[in-house]
Amino acid sequence: MNQFAYDVVIVGAGIVGAACALAFAERGLRVVVVDREMVGGGATAAGMGHIVVMDDSEAQFALTRYSQRLWQKLRPQLPDDVEYEQCGTIWVAADEEEMAEVLRKQRYYRDRGVPAEVLDPSQLKDLEPNLRSGLAGGLLVPEDGVLYPPCAGRFLIEQAQKQGAKIRVGAPVVKAGGGMVQLGNGVEISGQIIVNASGSCSPGLTAGIEVRKRKGHLVITDRYPGFVHHQLVELGYLKSAHSHTSNSVAFNVQPRRTGQVLIGSSRQYGAEHKAVDQEILARMLQRAQEYMPGLGAMSAIRVWTGFRAATPDKLPLIGPWPGDRTLFLATGHEGLGITTSLGTASVLLDQITGTKPEIPFEPYLPSRAAQEYAHA
Amino acid sequence: MPMPSAVTLTVNGAEVSVPQGATVAAAVAMAGQPCRVSVSGSPRGPLCGMGICFECRVRIDGRSHCRSCQILCEPGMDVKTDE
Amino acid sequence: MNKDCTSPFDVLVVGGGPAGMAAAMRAAECGMNVGIVDDNARLGGQIWRAAVSSDSHDKEAAKWQSLFGAASVTTLCGKRVFHQSEPGVLWAEGSDDLIALRYKNLILATGARERFLPFPGWTLPNVMGAGGLQAMVKSGLPIAGKSVVVAGTGPLLLAVAAYLRQQGAAIPIVCEQAPWSALLRFAGSLVKWPAKIAQTFRLKKEMAGTPFVANSWPVAAQGQGAIESVTISRGGSLETIPCDYLACGFHLVANIELPSLLGCEIRGGYVNVDEFQQTSLPGIFCAGEPTGIGGVEVSLVEGEIAGLAGAGAKSQAQRLFKKRAKLRNFAGALDRAFALRSELRSLASPQTLICRCEDVSYARVEEHTSWRSAKLHTRCGMGPCQGRICGPVTEFLFQWSPESVRPPIFPSRLKSLGAATAKAPEPVVVTRSSVKPRPLGMGM
């Protein structure tokens, strides 16, 4: 039963789906977003909400920097509850080896026009007095920021709705492809283009996508205004984020506009359940206290978990899915979906409309993965 | 004049004497103060009296977010209701 | 502290109110190694809370105090359970310590809290729960000479009014939202519970001269900086009464956070138990208000049954089934008599706050279709009370069901949360031998 006809049907009302909806609707396309639960209820609700530049690869840098610029442009329009704060990131170096990485990172950013300032131990202490003593230094990246993702997702959806986009929540999607999306309640929605933006659920709808769930834990404290001023990340984070097999934790805290401190992070493959894993939570909190001993006395009011959509090469899948000319992917953003949502939407729109892209989109094409997997 | 069994503490710098065994929430009320200022700026006092509503939060000896209805007064405590 | 991990409690009781005390005492009488943990400074729960200034406390409390005192139970007060890291290990936090509580059998006697409903002005200082104000007075708040309007619903209102008057407060009125018809049916049914009739008469005598009105509820509180007057609806018209305090509670909500965290089956807001008070999880029992709001008598007998069953004394437990059945009917009668009327759903104005931790208004919450959606987009329920106040409010106003419970079930120090693991470098384990029994200390 074919009830509806759209130009674009987007599966997933997370921040990536929301950003795509806005981009397509602004271009005058008839758009509908479908989600099993609500706007921003999946990884968008669980994530930390950083708007950061990362440099694991040129492609990752290009997409994060481009996206960060888009967020900066959007910033004047963002309502208060999105809580966008350009607090900056400090990459914290514990030893000389990590300090060498600080210098490399600074050169890399400087060469590409991203402001970044090397901090010696006393400058680090001045900026963040609650970090432990004895650290080697850090790198301040002042244009990085944080926001509150569920409200950011909702804002993007509302903007899309103003441009005529429709939103249908409450029924799971059981099939997506061949110009059609089928909901669990039997309703079928047809579209010229189907976008699978369902994050860690995306492999369930598109067989063959190499996206794995990577579970994370977060803890938030009561309000302690002024305890931390920047997003702080240990440089050891890179070792942790790059590990493909083992469970890992890293020190990563954010100041929220409320004065609360948001504490991460953990990474686990193979964990399918949302339940808090006390073992890894304990490791994560012990790590956080090693860097900021004052956290220990703070009141922790909530713990939650979420699933990142991780790809083998750490790059998202953005573009047409080989074998189904109606099906496009916008998934696999792992821990960077909040940052890269806007860039993803823009890249996807450029691909579909044949517009000259702002950044090269080849590195994100799903076909690269299909080829790699074929060779593997 | 404090009673023989009284405990003296300060609430926002002013001395208050309470009976032994009184909670900090009672002392704050006796000092005529609300416990905290809400997120949007309105004064709040205790609601549940049993430590679950968190409306009675005060700062005690520099420690934030103490539930005053669950904490007994001790001599010399420095209680602040400015959070 | 003892680090002996090999000797868990045979029976651990969480909650030191009447149900928990009865459970611990009966289990200890069977020769079990029993521990009881409670977050208050002393045992007794909310109902038997000791008073700062008064020596008198009720005879039932005194009787149970002496029974409990004779039993050998390890008592841990001022410790709040916030987590179970693995089956058989609970974690509790004190003012500056963290303890692991190992158990073979567990009895959950976590009690209840008051239900609050929002109306304009309900966030003003000196608007408190009925039980909340009583607890404050017991813990040192001077009430003599103050004028207190008591309002809401449930048997607690009269008890609180009587107590406050005894302490020297003036009570201009007690407002019960239930209609007279329901109250009379309830009063008629009291014939089946003579002890309750005696209680009611005693309260009535103590309350002579205070108007008790049915069909009446608060619609707004006014005041600059604190409450100065309350407007009540009474028999269809509005009346404004000056006061120093409004003591206002709408019956009770069961504390089911810990049972939920452990995975006990919950039905209709209560923990589902079998005839031995055992939950859906073998070896985990539940007694008192979390299994259904029924008051102190049924809590005591449920506690006794749970304590005996938890100690393996099943036949002794069975002998109490009949008594419990009779008292449980009373719980049903309570629910029917004090059902909340629908008018209470429309008290809040668009600006009235629903979430007091995060100051989220009715208008903002109302836009959403689920608790989770409201939480994520408005911060309703995201504050330190973890939705304990606004959760039941939205349940009543919008029929939303709460989310699953995650640790910590109570805000706890980050270092405690980070250390609450059996694989932590130095697990601190408390067993019977490591803690000296503490006197109950009722009445100080």
Tens digits of per-residue pLDDT, A45-88?
A: 999 999 999 999 999 999 999 999 999 999 999 999 999 999 99
- Reply yes or no on whether the pLDDT at C431 is more than 50: no
pLDDT at C195: 67
Cβ contacts of C41 on chain B, cutoff 8 Å:
70, 72
Helices (H), ranges, A95-137: 96-111, 121-127
Q: Is B64 on the interface with A (CB under 8 A)?
A: yes
pLDDT at A239: 66
pLDDT tens column, B5-58: 799 999 999 999 999 999 999 999 999 999 999 999 999 999 999 999 999 999
Mean pLDDT score across all residues of chain A: 94
pLDDT tens column, C330-378: 878 888 889 999 999 999 999 999 999 999 999 999 999 999 999 999 9
DSSP line for A359-374: S--GGG-HHHHHHHHH
Average pLDDT over residues A260-268: 96
Cβ contacts of B67 on chain C, cutoff 8 Å:
none
Q: What percent of chain C has pLDDT over 90?
A: 73
Alpha carbons C165 and C145: distance in angstroms, whole number = 9
- For residue C202, the Cα-to-chain-centroid distance in whole angstroms is 24
Residue in chain B closest to C49 (alpha carbons) equals B50
- CB atoms closer than 10 angstroms to residue A196: 30
pLDDT tens column, A315-358: 999 999 998 999 999 999 999 999 999 999 999 999 999 999 99
Are A251 and A235 within 8 A, CB to CB?
Answer: no
The region of weakest confidence among A213-227, A229-243, C118-132 is A229-243
DSSP line for A298-362: SEEEEEEEEEEEE-TTS--EEEEPTT-TTEEEEE--GGGHHHHHHHHHHHHHHHHHTPPPSS--G
pLDDT at C335: 81
Q: Do residue C414 and residue A298 have CB atoms under 8 angstroms apart? A: yes
pLDDT at C1: 36
Alpha carbons A79 and A252: distance in angstroms, whole number = 26
Alpha carbons A41 and A17: distance in angstroms, whole number = 12
Distance from CA of B74 to the nearest CA of C (A): 13
Q: Is A278 on the interface with C (CB under 8 A)?
A: yes
ipTM over 0.90: yes
Distance from CA of A291 to the nearest CA of C (A): 13
pLDDT at C6: 46
pLDDT at A375: 42
* pLDDT grade for C427, boundaries at 50, 70 and 90: very low
- Reply yes or no on whether the pLDDT at A186 is more than 80: yes
Q: Do residue A224 and residue B63 have CB atoms under 8 angstroms apart? A: no
Average pLDDT over residues C323-336: 86
- Reply yes or no on whether the pLDDT at C430 is more than 60: no
Q: Is C46 on the interface with B (CB under 8 A)?
A: yes
Q: What percent of chain C has pLDDT over 70?
A: 88
First to last CA, chain A: 41
- Give strand pairing partners of C9: C103
What is the architecture, at CATH level 2, of domain B6-80?
Roll (3.10)
Residue in chain B closest to A297 (alpha carbons) equals B63
What is the architecture, at CATH level 2, of domain A2-47+149-210+314-375?
3-Layer(bba) Sandwich (3.50)
pLDDT at C92: 96
Distance from CA of C37 to the nearest CA of A (A): 21
Distance from CA of B82 to the nearest CA of A (A): 13
Average pLDDT over residues A191-198: 97
Query: 3-class DSSP state for residue C346?
Result: helix
* pLDDT grade for A3, boundaries at 50, 70 and 90: low
Stated as kind and residue range, the H or E segment containing C130 is helix C130-138
Q: Is A224 on the interface with B (CB under 8 A)?
A: yes
Task: Map out the domains of chain C with their CATH numbers.
Answer: 9-113+253-334+415-434 (3.50.50.60), 127-250 (3.50.50.60), 343-398 (no CATH)
* pLDDT grade for A371, boundaries at 50, 70 and 90: low
Q: Do residue A300 and residue C417 have CB atoms under 8 angstroms apart? A: yes
Q: Is C418 on the interface with A (CB under 8 A)?
A: yes
Dihedral, A151, A155, A157, A162 alpha carbons, nearest 10: 160
The domains of chain A are located at 2-47+149-210+314-375, 85-143+212-309
Query: 3-class DSSP state for residue C399?
Result: coil
pLDDT at C77: 92
**CATH classification of A85-143+212-309, choosing from 3.30.9.10, 2.70.170.10, 3.40.50.620, 3.30.70.1560?**
3.30.9.10
Q: Is A185 on the interface with B (CB under 8 A)?
A: no
Mean pLDDT score across all residues of chain C: 89
Q: Do residue C383 and residue A279 have CB atoms under 8 angstroms apart? A: no
Q: Do residue C132 and residue B46 have CB atoms under 8 angstroms apart? A: yes
Residue in chain B closest to A221 (alpha carbons) equals B65
pLDDT at A245: 63
Q: Do residue B65 and residue A222 have CB atoms under 8 angstroms apart? A: yes
* pLDDT grade for C266, boundaries at 50, 70 and 90: very high
